[in-house]
Amino acid sequence: MQVKTLLGQWRQIPPAIWIVVLMCLIYGKVAPGFFTLSNLTNVAMQAAPLLIVAVGVTTVILTEGIDLSVGFIMGLVSVVVSLLLKAGLGIWWAMLGGLGAGFLCGLTNGVMVASVGLPPFIATLGVGSMAYGVGLVLTEGQSIQALDPVLLFLTNGSLAGVNMSIILAAAVFGICWLLMYETAFGRNVISLGGNPEALRVVGVNTRRVSILVYGVSGLLAAVAGLLVASRTGSGYAAAAMGWDFDAIGATIIGGTSFEEGKGGIGKTVLGVLLISILRNGLNVAGVHNMYQFALIGLVVLGTIVLDVRFRQTVEGGLKAQ
C-alpha cells in the first residue's frame, strides 16, 4: 500500500522537474564546469531578463491572449535607450524613454485586441514587426553603443554580493505577484480568461483590463530590454529575436493554459529555469551555436507535449474520482 502511495506521489511531479533534474545530471558529466558557483550565478543572470518578460507573457495568456511582440519590444527599447544617450540625455531620462516606448507598444497591442477586435496573434505580431522596423530605421540596421555606467551596473554591479540583474528580476517578480494575487486588478485578469461574462455582470470594464494587461506585458518587456542593453552595452533592433518563443515556452511549461485562465506566474519560474539551464549547459558543453536553436526548440516542444499529456492525465484522474 505504501509503495502504491509513493508511486502515486511520484506521478504527480510535473515532467518539467524531471527534465531539469535529468539535464543537471547530464551536464554534470559532459560539462565539468557546470556546477561551479560562477556558472550557477551565470545561469541566474541569464534567467533574470527571461523571467521578467515571461511573467508579462503569462499575464496575457491568463486572459486567453498571446503576445508575440515582446522580443521586438526588447530590441526597440535597447535602441531607444542607446539613441537617447547618444543624443546627450541623462541615463535616467534615457531609461524612462525606453520604458515608455515598451509600455506604449504594449498599450497599442491591447487597443488592437480589445478595442479594434483583432486576434491577439495578428495584433501582437503586427505591433512587434512595426517595433522591429522602427528600430532598424532609427539605427540603419547598426548596433549603437550604450556604455553608461548606470546602465552597465544593472548586469555588472552587485548589492550585498548578489548580482543586480538577479535582484531586479526578484523585485519585479515580487511586485507582479502582489499585483496578481493581492489586488482587484489581478483577480480581474484571472477572471477575464476564466469567466469574462461574470466580470461584465458585476460592472468591470473588461476592455480596460485587457488593454492594461498588454500594457504590463510591454512594460516588463521594456525592463528586460534594459537588461539586454546593459549586458551587451549597446542597442540593436534584433538583440532579443526569439525571446517571444522562450517566454511563451516558459509559460506553458510552467502549467499556464491558453484556455480558461488556468495557471499563474509562480510556476513560470520552473519554465524559465528549464530553458536557462538548457541554454547554459549547451554553452558550457561547447555545443556550436547553430545546433543550439534546434536542440532548445526540440527540448522545449517535447517538454510542453509531455506537460500537456501530464495535465490531461491528472485532470482525467480527478474527474474519475
| pLDDT tens column, 58-114 | 999 999 899 999 999 999 999 999 999 999 999 999 999 999 999 999 999 999 999
Does position 12 have pLDDT exceeding 70, yes or no? no
Cα 100-102-106 angle, rounded to 5 deg: 115
- Quick check: is 63 in a domain? yes
| pLDDT tens column, 26-44 | 888 888 888 888 999 999 9
- Quick check: is 13 in a domain? no
- Quick check: is 7 in a domain? no
- Who contacts 172 (Cβ-Cβ below 8 Å, separation ≥6)? 51, 52, 55, 220, 223
- Who contacts 299 (Cβ-Cβ below 8 Å, separation ≥6)? 19, 278
Query: Residue 321 has what pLDDT?
Result: 56
Query: Residue 244 has what pLDDT?
Result: 92
Query: Residue 306 has what pLDDT?
Result: 81
β-bridge partners, 235 = 144
Give the model's confidence band at 295: pLDDT under 50 very low, under 70 low, under 90 confident, else very high.
confident
Does position 11 have pLDDT exceeding 70, yes or no? no
| Separation CA 98–CA 79 (nearest Å) | 8
Q: Which of 72, 71, 66, 69 is nearest to 121 (CA)?
A: 66
Report the pLDDT averaged over residues 223-234.
Answer: 95
- Quick check: is 22 in a domain? no
| Separation CA 106–CA 70 (nearest Å) | 9
- Quick check: is 299 in a domain? no
- Who contacts 35 (Cβ-Cβ below 8 Å, separation ≥6)? 24, 27, 28
Could you tell me the three cell numbers for 221?
A: 518587456
Query: Residue 102 has what pLDDT?
Result: 97
Show the domain range for 167: 43-241+255-263
Between these two residues, 11 and 128, which has the higher pLDDT value?
A: 128
Between these two residues, 279 and 262, which has the higher pLDDT value?
A: 279
Domain count of the fold of the chain: 1
| Cβ-contact 225, 72 below 8 angstroms | no
- Quick check: is 61 in a domain? yes
- Who contacts 151 (Cβ-Cβ below 8 Å, separation ≥6)? 81, 85, 91, 94, 95, 226, 229, 230
- Quick check: is 55 in a domain? yes
| Separation CA 160–CA 189 (nearest Å) | 36
- Quick check: is 6 in a domain? no
Does position 183 have pLDDT exceeding 70, yes or no? yes
